[in-house]
Chain A
């Protein structure tokens, strides 16, 4: 079975500072990894995904994430955040262990960007 742990429930940061949102997963087979962003009272939209190939994945809005198989991590980073990045961020993992690729989501990390 797959699982996802987002280590921080809330991350406050000042505008233009760098940020890292942490995500660790567990799975017994090869995985696909995702980060989604949710703005207030909206659905989720895909930021980036790792399916195969390069372990450094670049997404929308200047975000990137690095897949580290040995540490079973997929941390999300941005070198300089904006006020508009304030949102809930969800890490998700998907594998074929259950016979389908339905993703399992973490509990989310609330990114709060202060001016």
Chain B
């Protein structure tokens, strides 16, 4: 069966420090991968998605970047964190649904606090 691992679960970082959040998927090949951010009362905002190794699409211009060095690894990074980067970050993967569209599966999230 497929599983998705996301770490760390919580992270407290000072403003201006770098960031690296990692997500790995097991039990599937060539998944679509996603990074979402969830800010209080603002729902889920799609940050990046990837359809293959080295292929990254950015949905929102910001202080963050993403990389996919391996088929089942997706990394969210920042060189210098801002206060506004605080939030709950969710990694997800998807596979085509036989009835149409995509089936989306989420990791357990990382609560990032920038102080």
Which residues of B does A touch, CB under 8 Å? 6, 9, 34, 36, 41-44, 46, 49, 90, 92, 97, 99-104, 106-109, 111
Contacts and interface: CB of A to CB of B under 8 A. Distances in A.
A52 B42 contact: no
Contacts of A105: 36, 43-44
A72 to B, nearest CB: 17
Given A90-B44, A105-B43, A105-B44, A32 B104 contact: no
Given A44-B90, A94-B101, A9 B106 contact: no
A51 B100 contact: yes
Given A42-B109, A43-B108, A43-B109, A107 B41 contact: yes
Contacts, number: 61
Contacts of A6: 43
A87 to B, nearest CB: 14
29 contacts: A6-B43, A32-B97, A34-B104, A41-B9, A41-B108, A41-B109, A42-B109, A43-B92, A43-B106, A43-B107, A43-B108, A43-B109, A44-B44, A44-B90, A44-B106, A46-B104, A49-B97, A51-B97, A94-B101, A94-B102, A100-B102, A101-B101, A102-B46, A102-B102, A105-B36, A105-B43, A105-B44, A106-B43, A108-B44
Contacts of B36: 105
B52 to A, nearest CB: 13
A97 interface: no
A94 B46 CA distance: 13
A41 B111 contact: yes
Among A100, A102, A106, chain B packs the most CB atoms within 10 A around the CB of: A102
A102 B41 contact: no
A26 B74 CA distance: 31
A43 B44 contact: no
Given A103-B104, A105-B36, 7 more contacts: A9-B41, A36-B106, A41-B109, A94-B101, A94-B102, A102-B46, A102-B49
A48 to B, nearest CB: 12
